[in-house]
């Protein structure tokens, strides 16, 4: 069982074995959920960087930089032509 001490400022160090088991990184936020029995559940809060790539992209969603640029230029030209510019 891992043990830590609460300082006068309300701070504690999460024991190494707990950090490793939960995959907690420096400066990562922790989510605390208080239970009715007086206990607490602590879970690492996922960051946006951690979530990157967690969802699959739909097939054909990004054709590539060159094609994306060409499509954008065509769309801008079409919009300008319809506005008479």
Domain of residue 26 covers 16-46
Give one DSSP letter per residue of 12-43, joined into a string. -PPPHHHHHHHT--TT--EEEEE-TTS-EEEE
Structural domain contains residue 25: yes
Structural domain contains residue 82: no
Structural domain contains residue 33: yes
Instruction: Give the pLDDT score at 48.
Output: 72
Give one DSSP letter per residue of 35-58, joined into a string. -TTS-EEEEEPPPHHHHTT-SPPP
Structural domain contains residue 23: yes
Structural domain contains residue 28: yes
pLDDT tens per residue across span 42-74: 999 877 766 777 777 777 666 778 888 888 889
Query: Domain count of the chain?
Result: 1
Instruction: Give the pLDDT score at 84.
Output: 67
Structural domain contains residue 68: no
Task: Output the average pLDDT for the chain.
Answer: 86
Structural domain contains residue 85: no
């Amino acid at each position: 069982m891992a043990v830590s001490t609460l300082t006068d400022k309300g701070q504690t160090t999460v024991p190494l074995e707990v950090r490793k088991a939960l995959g907690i990184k420096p400066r990562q936020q922790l989510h605390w959920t208080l239970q009715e029995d007086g206990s607490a559940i602590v879970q690492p809060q996922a960051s946006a960087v951690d979530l990157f790539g967690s969802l699959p992209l739909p097939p054909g969603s990004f054709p590539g930089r060159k094609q994306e640029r060409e499509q954008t230029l065509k769309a801008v030209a079409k919009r300008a032509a319809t506005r008479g510019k």
